[in-house]
Amino acid sequence: MRNFDPVDILIVEDNPNDAELTIRALKKQNLANRFFLVEDGAEALDFIFCRGKFEARKECNSLKVIFLDLKLPKVSGLEVLKEIRENEQTKLLPVVIVTSSKEDPDIKSAYELGANSYVVKPVDFEHFISAVSNTGLYWLLVNETIK
């Protein structure tokens, strides 16, 4: 069994290209030492709550931030967010919504469900890198979470 701990950032992204570019951006800021990538909502919930194939995770509370795409297979981003907020252990966990479009009709619902931030993935690579890096730097280094 692979040791998953400790993980700071959980990236929930079904597009493998976007995932690779996000990880590259985080690596440039030396932020990608402790990240984990999952490709659908069901896997994300299993990871967050240390169940299923992630049962062996020991440090279940190590996460500092979740980068959550809204359009996901199996369980949607909004449903993932809802479950996170409904659980006593994770209700305060910072969740950053990452989406392709400013027009996303689910953004209002995401904020209503308690999303902490909302970031649009720019088409231009330099802008993409800076959006991801700034978000990563802020949530991992500037922001303080409740212990």
Partner 1 sequence: MSFRDISERKEAREQIEQLNRELEERVLERTEQLSLAIKELEAFSYSVSHDLRAPLRAIDGYTRILTEDYREVLDSEGVRLCGVIRDNTRNMGQLIDDLLSFSRLGRVGRGLWCNLLFLFAGCQKA
Shortest Cβ distance from residue 87 to partner 1 (Å)? 29
48 or 68, CB closer to partner 1?
Answer: 68
CA of 97: how far to CAs of 63, 66, 71, 82, 121, in Å?
16, 8, 10, 13, 10
Widest pairwise Cα distance in the chain: 41
Among the residue ranges 4-12, 51-59, 96-104, 133-141, the one whose residues contact partner 1 (CB under 8 A) = 96-104
> Is 128 one of the binding residues for partner 1 (CB under 8 A)?
yes
> Is 94 one of the binding residues for partner 1 (CB under 8 A)?
no
DSSP letter string over 37-95?
A: EE-SHHHHHHHHTT-GGGTT-S-TT---EEEEESS-SSS-HHHHHHHHHHSTTTTT--E
Residues 66-85 interacting with partner 1 (rule: CB under 8 A): 71
> Is 30 one of the binding residues for partner 1 (CB under 8 A)?
no
> Is 144 one of the binding residues for partner 1 (CB under 8 A)?
no
> Is 108 one of the binding residues for partner 1 (CB under 8 A)?
no
> Is 17 one of the binding residues for partner 1 (CB under 8 A)?
yes
> Is 134 one of the binding residues for partner 1 (CB under 8 A)?
no
- Taking the CA atoms of 14, 56, 50 and 95 in sequence, report the sign of the dihedral they define: negative
Amino acid identity of residue 125, one-letter, is F
- Contact positions vs partner 1 (CB under 8 A): 15, 17-18, 21, 24, 71, 99-105, 121-126, 128
